[in-house]
Each structure stands twice: as structure tokens, then as C-alpha cells.
Amino acid sequence: MSRARGVHPSARHVLVVVQNLPVPLDRRVWLECQALRAHGYDVSVICPKGPGDPARQVIDGVHIYKYRPPPEARGLLGYALEFVYCWVRTALLSRTVWRRQPFQALQACNPPDTYWLLARWWKRRGVRFVFDHHDLNPELFRSRFGDPRSLRERCEMWALTWLERQTFRTADRVISTNESYRNVALTRGGCVPGTVKVVRSGPDTTAMRPLVPEERPADAPYTLAYLGIMGPQDGVDTVLDVMEELVRTRGRRDVRAVLMGFGDCLEQLRADCTARGLDDVVTFTGRVDRAQIAEHLSTADLGLCPDAKSPLNDVSTMNKTMEYMAYGLPSVCFDLIETRVSGGDTVLYAPAGDVTAFTDHVERLLDDEELRVGLGLRARQRVCDVLDWRQQAEVYVSVFRDLLGPVVQAPRPRAAADAVLPVRDADRDELGRAYVDLDDPAALEAFVRDRGRRRRAEVLRPAPVPPEVRVPQPATETVASTAL
């Protein structure tokens, strides 16, 4: 077997394949890459390009190979062509990666469940296959279209289930995002229990943490935040229902919403927002990066998780819930099995599908400052103590350690792009913005309470008069002023 020039023979190289999102925008995949790098593995990634992305990048030592994404898919034929196009581009790039440095493991992240065939091809060269299970595609089909009724729909469901089964059968190891997904791997997938591990998608709370927000007026409107994909199954139209109820029906003038993300339904949602006359209180940001997310979630007052109860959503871990928690945000969610696992007692849960109850919870949080602060503080504490990525990273790396053996740390050449990494200021982000002091309970509580607003008392308190311009007052007036 050929070996790339300059690569130490004991090096372990992992190739990660992603089709759903570009990297490092895909937060889970990027955290996985960083965890492998921190433990001595070489890492390469193949993924589609994001807007303005180059075809090749090296970020923090991770080699990223990107291809032009296909046009937006429409209909069954469109999705089939998209899958074939992405598979072929990925297969060709995997040969490019191999020529640079042979890899010992291939990790494929779904959707779609099509890369098992690529894994079988590379298995002929001794490459091991790790399946990072992000989505349940049969449940996604049922969530979008309901139970299959026509012959065509039954054939489509059979194909999705067959592809999933082939993926499980090909995998040497399976990484599940939660216990519900692990149960699918063991039952429907027929996997051996010892080959399936749960690695939750918790945020790295040392990096995902609130910023000191810019000062705003005390009467600045409350901000409701949504962060995530905007597809048919994500329920983002519920946010517009909530805003219409609050602003048009209940007459509130102190609330606005910011919706961060992109997806199949974005343009339709924008048109619906305009038709409802909500453009003055609802903002769509489109695609946002990590710095923009930090800015918006540091000034928002509560997070929204409008994911409706469905075969997919009920058993899926919603990253947005944990991301809100990382910024000390209370949130309102529909009552879903895995959302309760993430949120615990830091979230207000509305009965599934009850938009009125969802809106009532939102209004309750807007009007009850102490409840808002209490939930926000508990949310930050829970995400640090229970859900933090650092606790998951060791489990994740252990999958490759068990599969490939330990990495022998040895001197190795480093790419110019990561030869000298900048030393990060622990008190500031990459843009130089100050973090909230999380070690100071009073500072953290003040942030969660105000989120950049000047306290009303500070606004109403008169500014002190400089001594040189003070005018002496009669004693009687001074007493009267003191009494007031």
C-alpha cells in the first residue's frame, strides 16, 4: 500500500464525509474533527461548498475538500440526481485524499444513507467504516408525507429503509446522537450493542458562551430567537403564528423576533411574513456564522423551539435547544421526548401542536422577569454540567481508538495554515468582543436579567451635577428634596 510522503507510519488518518452542510458550519462535525486532532489523528473532510468557500482549505490542521453543491432538488427525480451527483463528487475526492495520505477510517454522516457503498469500496483496502447517525430517514419521510399509501410511496419508503439497513450492516461502528437513535440501530439495524455508542451533540461551552452585549435602551423590545434549519418538518411557521397572536391579537408592542438559518422553506416563510404584515417585527437573517449567532443569542430574551411532534422530531435531539441554553436563554418548546432529555427543567413545554399554549408560555416569560432569569441561569448550568461537548468528545474518540488502536504521538510535518495557531484570549472571542464573566455569579445574573438593557432605575436616576456648577440651596428646600 502506498504511503504519502512525509507521513509518519504510526499516524492515523480519518476521512469524514458530509453532504448535508459545509464544514465547519456543521457544528457537530467540526467538534468531532477538533476532538480527533486533539488526540493525535490526522483528519480530512469532504463536503459541499458554502457561499464563497474555496475548493480546498486547511483549518486548524483539518484538510477540507469541497465540491460545488447541486441545484436545489425538486421531486423524486431531483433528489435522486442530487444524491448521485454528490456521491460521485465525494468518491472522486476520496481518491484525491487517499493520494495525499491514505486513511484508515471513513466516517460518513447522514443524510443521505448512500455512502455505505463508498465504504464497501474502500474496505477492500482495509479502511474501517464509522456511521455517524444524524437523521432517521424513514421517519423523515413519514414526518413530511405521512404513512405511505400509494404504490410509489411504499416503494420510496422501502428504498429508504433498505439504504438504512445497508448502512448499518456495512458499518464497523455506529455513533448515535441519543438513546432513541441507538435503539433504532440495535432493533431495526440489527447492530451488536457493543458496536453502537451514544455521542450527544452538546455545545462546547468554553467557546459557545455569552458575549457582553452592547448597551441598549431600557425599553428595548423583547427579542424571540429561532436558530436552525427551515425545512417542512421544522415548524418555523409556528413562530409567525406566535408573533401574529402576540402583536395583532394581544396587542403587544414590546416584542420582535429574529429567525436565523436557511432551508427549503426560507423564501416561503419570508413571503408568508410579508402577507401577515409582520415585516416590521420579524427579521430573517439567512445563513449566519458563529460570530453572528453569538451576537444574536447574547441579546435575545428567549429561544423558540417550534418543532412539531412527528415520528422524526419526537426522537431527535434539537441542537437549537442546547445552543439557547449555552447563552443562558430560557426557551419554549413543544413537549417532545428527546427535547425533554436535553432541556430538563430549564424549558417551558407546551402540549404538542397547541400553538395557543406555546404563545401563553412565551408571554408568561416576557412578563415574569424572575422566571426568565431563573430558567436562564439553570439552563447555562445544565448545559455545562450535563450536555457539554467535552464530556462527549472522549466517548467519540474512543470509537476510533478501539477501531484503529492508539495513536503514537510523533513529530510530523504541519501545514502552513496551522503551523502557528494564534493564542486565543480566554476573555474575548475571535473578533475581540468581551465574554461575560461566567466565574462571577453576580455578573452572570446581571447579564441574564438585562441582556444589554440599561436598568430602568439607571435611566430615571438624574445625572450628578459637577461640584463646580452646583447652586447652594436653602436648608428647607434641601430637606424637602431629601424627603422626596
Phi, psi of 15 (to 5 degrees): -105, 125
- Could you tell me the three cell numbers for 209? 458562551
Per-residue pLDDT of the chain (484 residues; tens, 9 = 90+): 344 444 444 579 999 999 988 999 899 999 999 999 999 999 999 999 988 999 999 999 999 999 999 887 666 677 788 889 999 999 999 999 999 999 999 999 999 999 999 999 999 999 999 999 999 999 999 998 889 999 989 999 999 999 999 999 999 999 999 999 999 999 999 999 999 999 999 999 998 999 999 888 988 999 999 999 998 889 999 999 999 999 999 999 999 999 999 988 999 999 999 999 999 999 999 989 889 999 999 999 999 999 999 999 999 999 999 999 999 999 999 999 999 999 999 999 999 999 999 999 999 999 999 999 999 999 999 999 999 999 999 999 999 999 998 776 544 444 433 433 344 567 888 888 999 999 999 999 999 999 988 764 343 334 444 444 343 443 333 333 333 3
Query: What pLDDT score was predicted for residue 75?
Result: 67
Can you say whether the dihedral through the CA atoms of 408, 413, 417, 419 is positive or negative? positive
Query: What pLDDT score was predicted for residue 48?
Result: 96
Query: What pLDDT score was predicted for residue 454?
Result: 75
Classify domain 13-201 by CATH architecture. Answer: 3-Layer(aba) Sandwich (3.40)
- Work out the angle at residue 389's Cα, subtended by the Cα atoms of residues 31 and 223, and round it to the nearest 5 degrees: 90
What's the pTM value of the predicted model, to 2 decimals?
0.83
Q: How many of the other CB atoms lie within 10 Å of CB of 120?
A: 14
Query: What pLDDT score was predicted for residue 481?
Result: 31
Query: What pLDDT score was predicted for residue 467?
Result: 44
**Which residues have a Cβ under 8 Å from the Cβ of 358 and sit 6 or more positions away?**
238, 242, 306, 332, 334, 350
To which H or E segment does residue 57 belong? strand 56-59
- Range list for CATH 3.40.50.2000 in the chain: 13-201, 222-386
Domain 222-386: state its class.
alpha beta
How far, CA to CA in Å, does 319 sit from each of 28, 105, 137, 302? 9, 26, 18, 15
